[in-house]
């Protein structure tokens, strides 16, 4: 890996920014933390929300942090009810175009339904960390608006 220390960071492209969120009452965050570290090691700037996030809190964080991707980590099985609300809250704050991915204990049988909710990809329990990183790199949109 190349060393990226430089005093003139202005002239380099900016890192991808990701929000890793733990929605709902799911209290297990070891997997999310592993994902955060893997993304950091891949060169992303990762904002981790911590546990027990409501859809409003997730949208609030995504908005303020101006992330390129929202990653939802869920092991509680409540994804079918939580995901549509989260996508709705993201729309409410104007983030309808943001890339949203989900991971955790999500059965394959739910995958197709989830993909129609506005979530771009689902990473089940067997998914590798690299597959998530690679997916994000390939699918992060170029920004269309300029201030």
Partner 1 sequence: MLEGDRRAIARSLTLVESDHDSVAGLVDHLYPHTGSAVILGITGPPGVGKSTLVGALVDRFRRSRRRVAVLAVDPSSSVSGGAALGDRIRIGERAGDHGLFVRSVASRGHRGGLALGIAGMVHVLDAAGFELIILETVGVGQGEIGIVDRSHIVIVVQVPGLGDDIQALKAGLLEIADIIVVNKGDLSGAARVVSELRSSFAMGTDPAPPILKVSAATEEGVDDLVVAIDDRAAMIIDTGSIESRRRRLAATEVLDYLQVELRRELDRAGQLVTDEPNVIDSVSSRELSPRQAARQLARLIV
Which residue ranges make up the site for partner 1 (CB under 8 A)? Answer: 1, 3-11, 13-15, 17, 36-37, 39-50, 53-54, 56-57, 59-61, 63-66, 93-95, 145-147
CB of 71 to partner 1, least distance (A): 13
CB of 28 to partner 1, least distance (A): 16
**Residue 130 to residue 136: CA distance in whole angstroms:** 10
**Residue 89 to residue 30: CA distance in whole angstroms:** 26
Concatenating the DSSP letter of every residue in 52-71 gives SB-HHHHHHHHHHHT-SEEE
CB of 63 to partner 1, least distance (A): 6
Q: In the complex with partner 1, which residue's Cβ is closer, 5 or 138?
A: 5
Q: In the complex with partner 1, which residue's Cβ is closer, 60 or 76?
A: 60
- Residue 96 contacts residue 44 (beta carbons within 8 Å): no
């Amino acid at each position: 890996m190349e060393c990226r220390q430089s005093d003139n960071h202005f002239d380099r492209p900016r890192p991808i920014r990701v929000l890793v969120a733990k929605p709902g009452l799911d209290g297990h965050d070891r997997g999310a933390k592993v994902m955060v570290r893997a993304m950091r090691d891949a060169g992303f700037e990762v904002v981790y929300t911590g546990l027990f996030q409501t859809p409003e809190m997730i949208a609030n964080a995504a908005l303020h942090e101006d992330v390129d991707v929202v990653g939802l980590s869920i092991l509680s099985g409540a994804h079918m009810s939580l995901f549509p609300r989260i996508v709705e809250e993201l729309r409410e704050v104007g983030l309808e175009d943001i890339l949203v991915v989900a991971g955790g204990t999500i059965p394959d049988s739910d995958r197709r339904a989830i993909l129609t909710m506005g979530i771009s990809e689902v990473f089940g329990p067997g998914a590798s960390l690299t597959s998530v990183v690679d997916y994000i790199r390939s699918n992060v949109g170029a920004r269309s608006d300029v201030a």
